Chains A and B, each alone.
Chain A
Amino acid sequence: MLKINNLHASVEGTEILRGVNLEVKPGEVHAIMGPNGSGKSTLSSVIAGREDYEITQGNIQFEKEDLLDLGPDERAQKGIFLSFQYPVEIPGVTVTNFLKTSINELRKARGEEPLPANKLLKKMREKMGLLDMDKSFLSRSLNEGFSGGEKKRNEIFQMAMLEPKLGILDETDSGLDIDALRVVAKGVNTLRTKDNAIILITHYQRLLDHIEPDYVHVLSQGKIVKSGNKELALELEEHGYDWLKEPAV
């Protein structure tokens, strides 16, 4: 589904990603861990198509198509979803209105008619139940005055509504208390199917107690320095990142 080959990316002349290789297949959950500044968030931004980064080498393929040729909206239309680490506020635009616009734009790109309002509402109610959300949420301005936990929950809610092929969760666990973490994890787990894939970007192992990954990768200084199964995450928890830092592969 997603294939990253020798990806190099820099921002304002500083190289952040220095040759990332990663392959994600349908049905898989990959966790990408690493210390602060290792390039985790850069990687998610580059996949999603943020323009602040310059790709100096390598490529990204999504379903055999070269992703780097596409704008961020086109990538979203192909089925890539990013749960933002810091979701932005859009005053005056309700969650409902935002989601309606988003869903209908995605449908339009697939050549489908807009989703009728009653179906949209039904789906929203269903997904909100999954994430333990109050319906007052829908009429609030997007992320405006939301607590940290509400913002993250709102991201996962959008993911549930948009049903992407690839969901990238950028530090969705940071700033969440344990109850919120459980709810978010439950939401993500219900969205796991054999056809879609998830990339979890996280600093801590604790999210992986709730969402079990198939693979764990350690990103350090812009490269994946170690890959393994979920045991690797436990090892990291115990020993920290220092033992991996210096010797690049």
Chain B
Amino acid sequence: MSKENELLEEVTGSDYQYGFYTDIESDKAPPGLNEEIIRFISAKKNEPEWMVEWRLEALRGFQKMTEPKWANVNYPEPDLQAISYYSAPKQQEGPESLDEVDPELLKTFDKLGISLDEQKRLTGVAMDVVVDSVSVKTTFKEKLGELGIIFCSISEALQDYPELVRQHIGTVVPRTDNYYAALNSAVFTDGSFCYIPKGVRCPMELSTYFRINEAGTGQFERTLVVAEEGSYVSYLEGCTAPMRDENQLHAAVVELKAMDNAEIKYSTVQNWYPGDKNGKGGVYNFVTKRGLCEKNAKISWTQVETGSAVTWKYPSCVLKGDNSVGEFYSVAVTNNFQQNDTGTKMIHLGKNTKSTIISKGICAGQSNGNYRGLVKIGPRATDSRNFSQCDSLLMGSSCGSHTFPYIETQNKSAQVEHEATTSKIGEDQIFYCNQRGIGEEEAIALIVNGYCKDILNQLPMEFAVEAQKLLEISLEGSVG
């Protein structure tokens, strides 16, 4: 037992490695949430008239709602009137090359090990980098343009392709779907838009790095990915945030639309500031992510979640079309005082639809990790199948892990399977590794990576390596 405690001490000793702050002048809205602010944001972004109305409608819906309380997490309710809903790095015009990008920003990326230069050269990944709400740099855009692929910030999309945005936005996650989705719909400042035309296979991984970078600003990202008939896209989203004392609210909405025979692979590595070892500070991450599958379409969500003080998210698939497929692969790590209520919803509506859920939770410190998942088989969803596997790995005896699987079937031909395990990293495993010359930290990294292998394998190579690093950083020195 004493060994366990010592080790736990060590866990809490590992500090957030991305805790730095870039000093960039910003163009900031006064705090508060009201119609005037919405109009201000919309005007700032030079949005079409319908968009202003759309936002205001969301705000009116939001104002009638209250924050839901059913998640198994505890936190002081954020004061939404104290948040500034718009902050943009000061910049005259969009830069054409890296030379024109604020050198402070580039330094920030260097610290994160994601310098654009390197990314461009080594990985061939097109990046739409979002720093505090406004897209600063988009690469490879021309190359994608040749294929008719649109990959830009949602603000640009509203300027250049307003009808396309109008046609799809809010069709998967309606404006008043839930409290935080409604808030996002009203105040979102930026995000990404991705459109893959019919029959096109996107030749590269599309990647976005998000950062929250201004003290006291919330960030409300809006992402919309549309894959037309028979197309394919793999989309990566990675996040790190600098260290902050006060809690920061992040309420994003991600909508995916996979038309007939299309496939979308959406991968996330989330490493926002989790708060310090006493549970002070950290990001509130309340995200709505949902995908809609038409006939024979497929959507895969893969996520590695190591950050944020409180996480509340359920990337879901609505399997509307016959034979469509939904997948959810997740690793969620909580340490110190982090709280996590995450999982997925697989809504089977079409015939012969299929879904797979693999969720791996890792809890250390005093943290609390929850899996919450819904598998719903509608009356028309004949011969539908689901397989769910939810594993938890505990380190020490002060953390908690819970699984809340919900299954609703309205069709007798459905097959739904659920498996769950809970295990502990044993001192035996650690000792075995030690005896082979492998120190404590390396041993934990090895064991945890082994446990998460099925998920990490789903990630594109360069992302998997980063995810592995993040797992190691967030669990440094921990075990029980």
Residues of A at under 8 Å CB distance from B?
48-51, 71-73, 75-77, 81-82, 84, 87-88, 90-93, 97-98, 101-102, 105-106, 109, 141-142, 158, 162
> What's the Cα separation between A105 and B443 when bound, in Å?
11
- Chain B residues with CB below 8 A from A49, complex form: 434-435
Select which of A51, A71, A88, A101 is within 8 A of B442 by beta carbon.
Answer: A101
Residues of B at under 8 Å CB distance from A?
3, 426-429, 431-440, 442, 446-447, 449-454
> What's the Cα separation between A90 and B435 when bound, in Å?
14
A104: shortest Cβ distance to chain B, in Å? 9
> What's the Cα separation between A88 and B450 when bound, in Å?
14
Select which of B431, B435, B446 is within 8 A of A93 by beta carbon.
Answer: B446
Inter-chain contact A88/B428, CB cutoff 8 Å: yes
Least CB separation from B428: chain A residue: A88
Least CB separation from B439: chain A residue: A73
B107: shortest Cβ distance to chain A, in Å? 31
* CB-based A-B contact count at 8 angstroms: 77
Inter-chain contact A92/B435, CB cutoff 8 Å: no
> What's the Cα separation between A88 and B446 when bound, in Å?
14
Inter-chain contact A98/B436, CB cutoff 8 Å: yes
- Chain A residues with CB below 8 A from B434, complex form: 49, 71-73, 76
> What's the Cα separation between A101 and B429 when bound, in Å?
15
Inter-chain contact A72/B431, CB cutoff 8 Å: yes
Select which of B437, B447, B454 is within 8 A of A77 by beta carbon.
Answer: B437
Select which of B435, B439, B449 is within 8 A of A48 by beta carbon.
Answer: B435
B404: shortest Cβ distance to chain A, in Å? 24
- Chain A residues with CB below 8 A from B447, complex form: 90, 93
Inter-chain contact A102/B432, CB cutoff 8 Å: no
A sample of 7 cross-chain residue pairs with beta-carbon separation below 8 angstroms, ordered by A number, consists of A51-B3, A73-B439, A76-B437, A82-B435, A109-B437, A158-B436, A162-B436
- Chain B residues with CB below 8 A from A51, complex form: 3, 427, 431
- Chain B residues with CB below 8 A from A77, complex form: 437
> What's the Cα separation between A81 and B435 when bound, in Å?
7
> What's the Cα separation between A81 and B432 when bound, in Å?
11
Select which of A88, A93, A106 is within 8 A of B449 by beta carbon.
Answer: A93
Select which of B427, B428, B437, B452 is within 8 A of A73 by beta carbon.
Answer: B437
Inter-chain contact B429/A88, CB cutoff 8 Å: yes
> What's the Cα separation between A203 and B194 when bound, in Å?
68
Least CB separation from A82: chain B residue: B435
Select which of A88, A91, A141, A162 is within 8 A of B432 by beta carbon.
Answer: A88
- Chain A residues with CB below 8 A from B437, complex form: 73, 76-77, 102, 105-106, 109, 162
> What's the Cα separation between A171 and B429 when bound, in Å?
19
B392: shortest Cβ distance to chain A, in Å? 14
Inter-chain contact B431/A90, CB cutoff 8 Å: no
Contacts beyond the supplied A82-B435, A93-B447: 7 A-B pairs with Cβ under 8 Å: A73-B434, A81-B435, A84-B435, A88-B432, A90-B450, A91-B450, A162-B436
- Chain B residues with CB below 8 A from A88, complex form: 426, 428-429, 432
Select which of B3, B428, B432, B438 is within 8 A of A105 by beta carbon.
Answer: B438
> What's the Cα separation between A51 and B428 when bound, in Å?
11
Inter-chain contact B431/A50, CB cutoff 8 Å: yes
